[in-house]
Amino acid sequence: MRRIAATLAVVGALLFSAGSAWADYDDGFAAYQRGDYETAYREFLPLAEQGHAQAQSLIRDAVIIVIRVYAKTDVHQSSDTTRKHL
């Protein structure tokens, strides 16, 4: 009887944690879609570390987007600063 109870407790814990993982993915995806890449990263990172391929892909995409945005900002700021000094 104890063995069955222990098995059910383990299965219940696994099912609960799987639901939590999908909730994190859904929260991360919603953040990604609205452009909140920092929140998306925080939500996706634990999943990506566990091997979740979609989370890994979306983290990569978010990082690329952020790098492009900052690169464009730096280029414009740099050219403005250069013009001021000329």
50: which DSSP letter? T
CB 28 within 8 A of CB 34: no
> What is the pLDDT of the chain when averaged over all its residues?
73
Q: Are 21 and 47 in contact (CB under 8 A)?
A: yes
Q: Is residue 15 part of a domain?
A: no
pLDDT at 39 over 70: yes
- Residue 52 lies inside a defined structural domain of this protein: yes
Instruction: Indicate whether 34 belongs to any domain.
Output: yes
Q: What pLDDT score was predicted for residue 5?
A: 52
Q: Which residues of 13-33 are buried (b: 16+ CB within 10 A; e: fewer)?
A: eeeeeeeeeeebbeebbebbe
Distance CA 37, CA 35 (A): 6
pLDDT single digits (tens) 16-29: 444 455 668 999 99
pTM above 0.85, yes or no: no
* Structural domain of 63: 21-85
Number of domains observed in the structure of the chain: 1
